Structure 1
Amino acid sequence: ECAHLLLAHNAPVKVKNAQGWSPLAEAISYGDRQMITALLRKLKQQSRESVEEKRPRLLKALKELGDFYLELHWDFQSWENIVPLLSRILPSDACKIYKQGINIRLDTTLIDFTDMKCQRGDLSFIFNGDAAPSESFVVLDNEQKVYQRIHHEESEMETEEEVDILMSSDIYSATLSTKSISFTRAQTGWLFREDKTERVGNFLADFYLVNGLVLESRKRREHLSEEDILRNKAIMESLSKGGNIMEQNFEPVRRQSLTPPPQNTITWEEYISAENGKAPHLGRELVCKENKKTFKATIAMSQEFPLGIQSILNVLEVIAPFKHFNKLREFVQMKLPPGFPVKLDIPVFPTITATVTFQEFRYDEFDGSIFTIPDDYKEDPSRFPDL
């Protein structure tokens, strides 16, 4: 009753506790299907509303920014343990961004890991600031000549299938801790040490070492049966050997609500008087694995780059629905040394680090047609199931 009352008053579903768990994570652990569905729907609604709330500010910032072409290169390392449910990542990619007025186009080559076989794609993401919010963001598959609108209202069936997947998978939480982060100048030379300064693309940059960057990841599975765990393990083993999920009949089955956990014996007084961040756990007994990884990273800052950090943050915020760009945006928001980060290492997932390089930048003008859907492309709402 409390949860439904909070949802009715639009309480933020995205909020997390000190351990990084959201209300949705706790609902999955508890196992009530109706509550998981209600939270998932509200989370998606609030995400759409958040995008719309920021839209006027973003459009104003884009309008004031000159028109340009920007090229980013991504190189991903150490991806031997693919995190389940992240079916697409980009181990190596060249991204081309075109910005004109309040329109943005991102061209990318996609690596498809649906069946653990590297497949290059030819995709374009287009943000049309003049279009209605529900139609402003589309992804084009330039090989298949189809497109899909992003932020579309999901069907009942799509939501139910997503709930099935959530109820049959591990719950993940990953937090990038930047509390103790510091930057020191990188050195070069054997006998005579000096500060490292090199060209990155067309820009002279000072190199820094990033110290104290910690990724804390947690994985829970108290809501899973032995059968679920064995099935998930079989899926991962099949994928690692180049198998195909569809061929193995690993499609999610309809999940029923779990038997509620035993009634807890914690009193209200015990709960509210607990140390901050260490409240007693309510619900099912935790089955949780924790992992802390300290990242050794470098960053190259250039005073010559024509764009300021706030300008690139606005562009990245527009394309933030794509996970790796959101990670880049979060990293660039940190208190960095002077200049613009033309090359940086960022932890993207618990086992994956990306080196991002801003290779080229120029102010330019473009044919407006590159920001529209070609006439011969057909709409396919199910082309990209994880967008």
Structure 2
Amino acid sequence: MIMAQESEEYPLHRCIFQGDVKTLKILIGKHDIAEKDKQGNTPLHLAVMLGRKACIQLLLAHGAPVKVKNLAGWSTLAEAISYGDRIIISSLVRKLKQQAREQIEERRPNLITALHQMGDFYMELKWDFQSWVPLVSRMLPSDVCKIHKSGASIRMDTTLVDFNDMRWERGDISFIFNGDQKPSHSLTVLDNKAKLFQRVKYEETELEIEDEVDVLMSSDIMAAQMSTKSITFSRTQTGWIFKEDKREMVGAFHADFYQINGMVLESRKRREHLSEEDLQKNKAIIESLTKGSSQGFKNGEPPMRRASLNPPPKSNITWDEYVIAPSGQCPLLGRNLVYKKSSKSFKATVAMSPDFPLTVDMLLNVLEVIAPLKHLSKLREFVLMKLPPGFPVKIDIPILPTVTAKITFQEFAFRNDIDPELFQVPSDYFEDPMRFPDL
């Protein structure tokens, strides 16, 4: 039986489908644990969809990737939330965080080397948020991020603390990254108004992980991504009669303007794991958890935790039926999906300058360090696209389905007089580990 499974397609998938843990233990070291089948499912996807707990623990112990998505765009964690077993969800959340730390540590030496090799500089990024919803547009914030870089240290000053779902928090905060320090002390955030500082957590406590599991089990399963398959760039034209390519100065830099065509933000939402009662009851749970108010035990009692759901009905799909199903038409293995999809096309422009002294690769190294803020992560995602020649000194990018951001690199200068005190916590600041609960 083992010989037959070794010679066929997707032997690990088959073991999991059939609940054959004994054979899985024998084969798991001989095959690619991250292999995707025709539906884009990894062995861990199948184990989660079918609730095979022993298989899940075995796969995680051998380093099965948690973040990877299948053809339908869902991660193993998304499928676990749908299945609704709290122990499985907790195991995946822990492993996901561990794998994220390992990836950062793997890239860290190259990142630090790149920062040391890069010249020291001062840079300003201006953010203007805009919306096609008129009333929202009037209320949206703007911000100027000021960035100092010296050696392997970076400081970013910003007034926009957090921004999502039409809520934003203003402040005066600074992120300080000291690459030559150990990981647990390398990233610090300052609240310059309250004169507080917080070391950005390197590892979460068990309480924080269980809080996160409660939020996941009480929320819609969300996936949003910028579809880059159909994106093309065309030169922006100016002039009424005699058209010519648009060239303008952006700050001190000459720039060629391009129209970005085919930019689509796809948002998908699932809620088959939530009842109508859940939807009402869980609003309060999510609000208390996301505000960090569940930290610690009240009256000595641990917080009430979200219980596991009853498992979905057992699938009657056979392995042969599953493996011959056409690509992208995965048979239903878990709960009936309650699913909503929306997409919005964006008109956007990018101005590329051949004169800018920083390269795109250098910018990515900087953004990797200072991207704990969601809108900076979006900028990093955009810059990873295959852009026209030059450096993107002015960009439009969608941040939310109703909101875009216009980012302008309005100032840049290499400098050798950056004050080293900028990268230290001032002596009159006090430590508050919970000033920014989301970091």
**TM > 0.5:** yes
Q: Which residue of 298, 318, 321 maps to 2:372?
A: 321
Identity of aligned residues (%): 65
Secondary structure at the aligned position of 2:361 is classed as helix
Greater CA deviation, 342-351 or 252-261? 252-261
| Structural mapping, 1:173-252, within 5 Å | 173-231=223-281
Secondary structure at the aligned position of 1:259 is classed as coil
Q: Deviations over 1:88-130 (max 9, x none)?
A: xx84211011100000011100255699775520110011011
Change (3 A) 1:119 1:189: same
Q: Where do 5+ consecutive residues of structure 1 fail to align?
A: 81-89, 239-243, 247-251
| Structural mapping, 1:296-311, within 5 Å | 296-311=347-362
Higher share in helix: 2
User: How far off its partner does 1:277 sit?
Assistant: 3.2
Larger radius of gyration: 2
Change (3 A) 1:99 1:120: same
Counterpart AA for 2:221: I
Aligned length: 368
Partners of 2:201 and 2:173 lie apart in 1 by 17
**Given that residues 164 and 253 in structure 1 are in contact (C-alpha distance below 8 angstroms), is that contact kept between their aligned partners in structure 2?**
no
Q: What's the counterpart of residue 183 of structure 2?
A: 133
User: How far off its partner does 1:79 sit?
Assistant: 8.5
Q: TM-score, normalised by structure 1?
A: 0.89
Partners of 1:180 and 1:112 lie apart in 2 by 31
- 4+ residue runs over 4 A deviation: 111-119, 231-236
Q: Deviations over 1:39-65 (max 9, x none)?
A: 111111111111111000001111110
Partners of 1:105 and 1:359 lie apart in 2 by 17
Greater CA deviation, 176-185 or 55-64? 176-185
Q: Which residue of 380, 389, 412 maps to 1:361?
A: 412
Partners of 1:295 and 1:114 lie apart in 2 by 19
Change (3 A) 1:191 1:77: same
Secondary structure at the aligned position of 2:344 is classed as strand
> Are 2:55 and 1:2 aligned?
yes
The one of the two structures with greater contact order (alpha-carbon pairs below 8 A, sep at least 6) is: 1
User: How far off its partner does 1:273 sit?
Assistant: 1.6
RMSD: 2.5
Change (3 A) 1:21 1:355: same
Secondary structure at the aligned position of 1:16 is classed as coil
Partners of 2:143 and 2:194 lie apart in 1 by 20
**Given that residues 269 and 341 in structure 2 are in contact (C-alpha distance below 8 angstroms), is that contact kept between their aligned partners in structure 1?**
yes
Q: What's the counterpart of residue 285 of structure 1?
A: 336
> Are 2:303 and 1:265 aligned?
no
> Are 2:428 and 1:376 aligned?
yes
**Given that residues 122 and 141 in structure 1 are in contact (C-alpha distance below 8 angstroms), is that contact kept between their aligned partners in structure 2?**
yes
Secondary structure at the aligned position of 1:382 is classed as coil
Partners of 2:213 and 2:285 lie apart in 1 by 18
Q: Deviations over 1:312-345 (max 9, x none)?
A: 1111112233322222112112111111100011
Q: Which residue of 166, 191, 201 maps to 1:151?
A: 201
